[in-house]
Amino acid sequence: MKFTLGALADAHLQLNDYKTAYTYRERQHILNDSLFNLDKAKVIHEMQTKYETVKKENEILLLRQENQVKDTRLTQSMQAIVALLGVLALILALGYLWKNRLQLKQQAELQSTRATLREAQLKAVIASQEEERKRFAADLHDGFGQMISALRLTLSKEKIEKPTVEHALGVLNDMNTEIRNIAFNLMPQVLMKNGLSEAVKEFAARITRAGAVSVTVQTFDLDEAMPDDLRIALYRICQEWVNNILKYGKASQIVIQLVQHPQELVLTIEDDGNGFDLSLLTEGTGNGWKNINSRLHMIKGSIEIDTTPGRRGTTLVATVPLAIAQAA
């Protein structure tokens, strides 16, 4: 259109029709201005559209970035909270473990103190019993022994019929033997003077002389230089168990072994008597088994018994760790 107006303006200008040519030229300018304004408006619109688009995109991008920052901060906050909770849980766990360990330590110390106290009390009771046995044995041996000797001397000098005197002397001899046996069982002097081996052999010989059971004693590498507590405890264990065999086992032979190893001492007592149910020991009302366990506990020993009801033969094995026993 603008080109047509320009052509008309040029044609009228050739015809010297200046007025009409001017009119067409003016219209052309007006049209050009209109077209320019339209193009300009279009460009502005396009630029504005692009600007708005870019602006929106930037806003969206900024919003995304802000959301990402928020998400990152939220994630970091959550991680910090989780880490804090983890540290708190760790502190609580460590506190619980420390408290539990402290309680266990206190309980262990309390149990150890109680065990030490019980052991000291047990040791004191056993020592007191042994001292009382020793005193009573000495009084029995010295007092009654002297009285029997004096009575025997008097009877031998009195003018009494010989059969009567011989009978009385026989009774006195039996009394003297019985008193000596009682005194020996209470506290054998040979145990303190000559050691465990000789005391056990003397104990076995007295039982064998009684005729009901043959008792054999075997010792291997036994060091007699042992603490009195250990010596007395092993002798009493041997004494209690053999007396138990004599009372219930119906045995004809008993073998006692004392074997010393570098780290431990082993007492073995075997018999050919009747086997029995081990529950009878723990359920029984007698003090023999309790005494054996008390003495073993005092010297830190352990015990094993091999026996079966209806089978001949029973074996007791008592093991004492020497280092602990000597320290006790």
Report the pLDDT value the prediction gives residue 229, as an integer from 0 to 100.
83
DSSP assignment, residue 248? I
In angstroms, the CA 89 to CA 92 distance is 5
The pLDDT of residue 241 is 92
Q: Is 300 among the domain residues? A: yes
The single-letter DSSP state of residue 300 is T
Residue 257, in any domain of the structure: yes
- Residue-by-residue pLDDT tens, the chain, 328 positions: 545 655 655 666 676 666 676 676 666 666 565 655 566 667 667 777 877 887 788 888 888 888 888 888 888 888 889 888 888 898 988 888 888 888 888 888 888 777 666 666 555 555 655 565 565 555 555 555 555 565 556 556 555 555 555 655 565 565 655 555 555 555 566 777 888 899 899 889 988 988 879 999 999 988 878 888 888 889 889 988 998 898 887 899 999 999 999 899 999 999 999 988 888 887 766 677 888 888 888 888 999 999 999 889 999 999 999 875 555 5
pLDDT for the residue numbered 10: 60
- The whole-angstrom separation of Cα 241 and Cα 220 is 20
Report which of 253, 184, 266, 177 is spatially closest to residue 219, judged by C-alpha positions.
Answer: 266
d(CA 7, CA 170): 180
| Residues 295 and 236: beta-carbon distance below 8 Å | yes
Helical (H) or strand (E) element with 162: helix 162-186
8 A C-beta contact, residue 237 and residue 267: yes
CB neighbour class for 325 (10 Å; exposed up to 12, middle 13-18, buried from 19) = buried
Supply the pLDDT for residue 165: 54
- Residue 274 belongs to what domain range? 195-328
- Helix, strand and coil percent figures for the chain, each rounded to 5: 75, 10, 15
User: Is the residue at 312 inside a domain?
Assistant: yes
Do residues 300 and 320 make contact, with C-beta atoms less than 8 angstroms apart? yes
Query: What is the Cα–Cα distance from 302 to 319, expressed in whole angstroms?
Result: 5
Rg of the Cα atoms in the chain: 58
- Say what the alpha-carbon torsion angle 302, 131, 258, 201 is, to the nearest 10 degrees: -150
| Six-digit token string for 195 | 């050691």
Instruction: Write down how long the chain is.
Output: 328
Q: Are 166 and 268 in contact (CB under 8 A)?
A: no
- For residue 234, the one-letter residue type is L
Number of domains within the chain: 1
Name the pTM for this structure.
0.54
Task: Output the domain CATH number for residue 302.
Answer: 3.30.565.10
Residue 322 lies in a domain: yes
Q: Is residue 130 part of a domain?
A: no
Structural domain includes residue 106: no
Q: What is the pLDDT of residue 243?
A: 86
| The predicted structure's pLDDT at residue 76 | 86
Contact indicator for 259, 269 with CB cutoff of 8 Å? no
